[in-house]
């Protein structure tokens, strides 16, 4: 893997992980402020917002980065600049239109989830929360275009930093706002949740300010690139946007994959639970399913997101230049690193589901059970994200749309029957089946069009699975021995228990990987230098 790809991947990975971890850890105080029963109300607002924001941005960061990377590799820098200038206006209009639609149609979306008088929240409550979060749509599309512009120039820092700043600003406003409403102003929980969702607008505003700063500081360098423009390719704005739309449609589908699955849960879960006489607990279980456990499970997936974002411009560049050998090398290393890092994280969450849920929320047998069932699905989220990114990188993005539609159809068809059979776990099983089908289709397409086969890394994959099995057996043994000594109603004791098991598991996994050379995939030449230093220190 080239140093530029490693550096870009590292920067985006770091930024994404920081953002995701902040997005995970804020739920601890937020959960304490609003309570378990109000989590579902917060999520009812965010699911339609996430879909709207994905459509409004039209996959802009990744689509624009791919477009600009393509023409930059040909020395046609002016094409990308024209897109940037006209795109800012276009994204501003798109954001305002999306905001107006979501705000006006909020009562309609609310009716999809408020189906029974026995539920905790009214139609007016859900409408208010949806409208509060819709204001962020005004800013985010504009910001997305700027991120895509920088990524297309293989500059990942602006996107990473703005993402982190956006998350920090959002969380501060969310926590302070919710606390002030409930404990200072003595307001109700619906108002507090509305303020919390409005925090998306505040965070986006701060993220946009960061991008403006980067633009001003790097404009001189970008203008110098513009002076080197070959001027051999003349592309009209109509053709530019047509190409962007062709790029963007698959990105839209990838971006809304998880939200679409959540939307299906949103409109079917309460209905299915009411059908089996469980309407009173449906809001609470929905909150656990689509907020509490999802926040923990999504952390390993952030690695896949970071890789897909930095992977596309590089694969596109190699593919356009006809260097298929290098494309295959990138794919090998990407799959290996992805599995090397995500599988042990998922295994750890499964084994330690009880203390994990206790640390972030409270001791809950039901919460831990749902988390344990949900954790393995994270690897499917990650694999779908990366395989979809690969298809876009090799210009076969049309199959991304097809594979996702197949998965969504399976999810929609199976969700209600499986929920009636297994309640919350049934929704998880339907999600796993849908994503599994999409991944199989993506892999088959990659194999056919890129002449790529996972057989080339089959041995490495087998090693990863074997080492995780060994690690799981040891960690489970340690957990079984020492867990009776800890009180999991105490967050401190639950954290210590997780820490002990994590250290044991990480040590075993790293030693096994180091001895077999599996870590070479991740650390490469840096590992060789580390080994030499260790040998010298022993001498």
User: How far is residue 250 CA from its own chain's centroid?
Assistant: 16
The confidence score (pLDDT) of residue 480 equals 95
Please write the tens of the pLDDT for every residue from 424-439.
999 999 999 999 999 9
Place of tokens 């303020």: 195
The more confident residue out of 111 and 418 is: 418
Separation of alpha carbons 318 and 333, rounded Å: 15
Please write the tens of the pLDDT for every residue from 51-98.
888 777 756 676 777 778 777 777 777 877 877 888 888 888 888 998
The confidence score (pLDDT) of residue 484 equals 94
Please provide the size of the chain in residues: 539
The more confident residue out of 65 and 12 is: 65
Query: What angle is formed at CA 257 by the lines to CA 365 and CA 426, rounded to 5 degrees?
Result: 35
Are 439 and 387 in contact, with CB atoms under 8 Å apart?
yes
- pLDDT band for position 254 (50/70/90)? confident
The confidence score (pLDDT) of residue 539 equals 52
Average pLDDT over all residues of the chain: 84
Separation of alpha carbons 427 and 414, rounded Å: 8
pTM for the whole thing? Answer: 0.79
Tokens of 261: 């699955």
- Residues in Cβ contact with 365 at an 8 Å cutoff, skipping those fewer than 6 apart: 354
Are 521 and 336 in contact, with CB atoms under 8 Å apart?
yes
Q: Is the pLDDT of residue 530 over 60?
A: no
- pLDDT band for position 507 (50/70/90)? very high
Are 433 and 380 in contact, with CB atoms under 8 Å apart?
no
Mean pLDDT within 36-40: 81
Separation of alpha carbons 196 and 374, rounded Å: 26
Distances (CA, A) of 287 to 36, 47, 70, 241, 348: 8, 12, 43, 40, 23
Are 256 and 50 in contact, with CB atoms under 8 Å apart?
yes
Residue 177 in 3-state DSSP? helix
The confidence score (pLDDT) of residue 172 equals 96
Taken in order 520, 522, 524, 529, the sign of the CA dihedral is negative
Expressed in angstroms, the distance from the first to the final Cα of the chain is 32
Return the minimum-mean-pLDDT range out of 32-36, 239-243, 484-488: 239-243
Return the minimum-mean-pLDDT range out of 35-49, 227-241, 253-267: 227-241
- Residues in Cβ contact with 130 at an 8 Å cutoff, skipping those fewer than 6 apart: 44, 45, 48, 49, 102, 106, 109, 110
Distances (CA, A) of 304 to 60, 433, 456, 506: 18, 20, 20, 20
The confidence score (pLDDT) of residue 522 equals 61
Are 5 and 151 in contact, with CB atoms under 8 Å apart?
no
The confidence score (pLDDT) of residue 83 equals 79
Mean pLDDT within 298-311: 66
Percent of the chain at pLDDT > 90 equals 38
Q: Is the pLDDT of residue 313 over 70?
A: no
Mean pLDDT within 153-163: 82
Mean pLDDT within 471-496: 94
Q: Is the pLDDT of residue 525 over 60?
A: no
The confidence score (pLDDT) of residue 1 equals 45
Q: Is the pLDDT of residue 388 over 50?
A: yes
The confidence score (pLDDT) of residue 529 equals 59
Distances (CA, A) of 500 to 299, 351, 366, 464: 20, 13, 24, 22
Residue 395: Cβ within 10 Å count: 16
The confidence score (pLDDT) of residue 229 equals 75
User: How far is residue 472 CA from its own chain's centroid?
Assistant: 25
Separation of alpha carbons 131 and 136, rounded Å: 10
Separation of alpha carbons 16 and 317, rounded Å: 23
- pLDDT band for position 122 (50/70/90)? confident
Range among 90-99, 300-309, 434-443 rated most confident? 434-443
The confidence score (pLDDT) of residue 58 equals 56
Separation of alpha carbons 512 and 469, rounded Å: 12
The confidence score (pLDDT) of residue 532 equals 60
The confidence score (pLDDT) of residue 12 equals 66
Separation of alpha carbons 226 and 78, rounded Å: 6
> Which phi and psi (to 5°) does residue 116 adopt?
-140, 140
Q: 517: buried, middle or exposed (CB in 10 Å: 19+, 13-18, 0-12)?
A: exposed
């Amino acid at each position: 893997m080239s140093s530029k790809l490693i550096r870009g991947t590292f920067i985006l990975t770091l930024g994404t992980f920081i953002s995701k971890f902040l997005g995970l850890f804020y739920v601890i105080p937020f959960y304490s402020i609003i309570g378990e029963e109000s989590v579902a109300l917060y999520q009812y607002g965010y699911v339609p917002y996430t879909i709207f924001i994905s459509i409004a941005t039209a996959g802009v960061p990744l689509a624009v980065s791919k477009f600009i990377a393509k023409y930059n590799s040909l020395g046609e820098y002016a094409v990308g600049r024209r897109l940037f200038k006209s795109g800012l206006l276009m994204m501003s209009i798109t954001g305002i239109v999306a905001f107006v639609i979501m705000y006006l149609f909020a009562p309609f979306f609310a009716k999809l989830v408020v189906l029974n008088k026995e539920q905790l929240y009214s139609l007016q409550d859900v409408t208010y929360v949806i409208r509060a979060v819709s204001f962020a749509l005004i800013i985010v599309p504009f910001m997305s275009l700027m991120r895509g512009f920088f990524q297309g120039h293989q500059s990942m820092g602006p996107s990473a930093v703005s993402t982190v700043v956006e998350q920090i600003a959002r969380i501060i406003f969310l926590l302070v706002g919710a606390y002030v409403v409930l404990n200072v102003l003595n307001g109700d929980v619906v108002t507090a949740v509305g303020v919390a969702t409005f925090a998306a607008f505040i965070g986006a505003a701060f993220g946009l300010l960061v991008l403006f700063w980067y633009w001003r500081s790097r404009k001189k360098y970008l203008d110098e690139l513009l002076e080197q423009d070959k001027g051999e390719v003349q592309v009209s704005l109509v053709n530019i946007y047509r190409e962007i739309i062709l790029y963007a449609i698959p990105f839209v589908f990838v971006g809304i994959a998880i939200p679409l699955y959540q939307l299906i849960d949103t409109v079917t879960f309460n209905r299915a639970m009411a059908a089996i006489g469980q309407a009173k607990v449906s809001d609470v279980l929905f909150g656990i399913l689509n907020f509490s456990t999802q926040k923990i499970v999504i952390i390993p997936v952030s690695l896949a997101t970071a890789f897909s974002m930095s992977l596309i411009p590089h694969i596109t560049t190699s593919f356009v230049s006809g260097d298929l050998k290098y494309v295959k090398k990138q794919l090998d290393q990407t799959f290996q690193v992805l599995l090397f890092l995500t599988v042990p994280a998922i295994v750890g969450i499964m084994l330690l589901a009880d203390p994990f849920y206790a640390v972030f929320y409270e001791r809950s047998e039901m919460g831990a059970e749902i988390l344990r069932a949900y954790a393995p699905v994270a690897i499917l989220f990650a694999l779908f994200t990366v395989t979809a990114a690969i298809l876009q990188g090799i210009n076969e993005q049309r199959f991304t749309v097809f594979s996702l539609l197949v998965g969504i159809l399976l999810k929609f068809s199976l969700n209600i029957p499986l929920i009636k059979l297994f309640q919350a776990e049934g929704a998880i099983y339907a999600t796993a089946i849908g994503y599994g089908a999409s991944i199989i289709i993506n892999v088959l397409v990659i194999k056919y069009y890129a002449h790529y086969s996972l057989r080339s890394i089959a041995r490495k994959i087998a090693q990863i699975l074997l080492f995780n099995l060994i690690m799981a057996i040891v960690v489970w043994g340690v957990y079984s021995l020492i867990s009776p000594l800890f009180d999991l109603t105490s967050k401190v004791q639950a954290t210590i228990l997780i820490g002990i098991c994590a250290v044991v598991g990480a040590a075993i996994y790293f030693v096994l990987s180091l001895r077999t050379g599996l870590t070479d995939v991740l650390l490469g030449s840096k590992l060789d230098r580390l080994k030499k230093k260790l040998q010298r220190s022993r001498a």
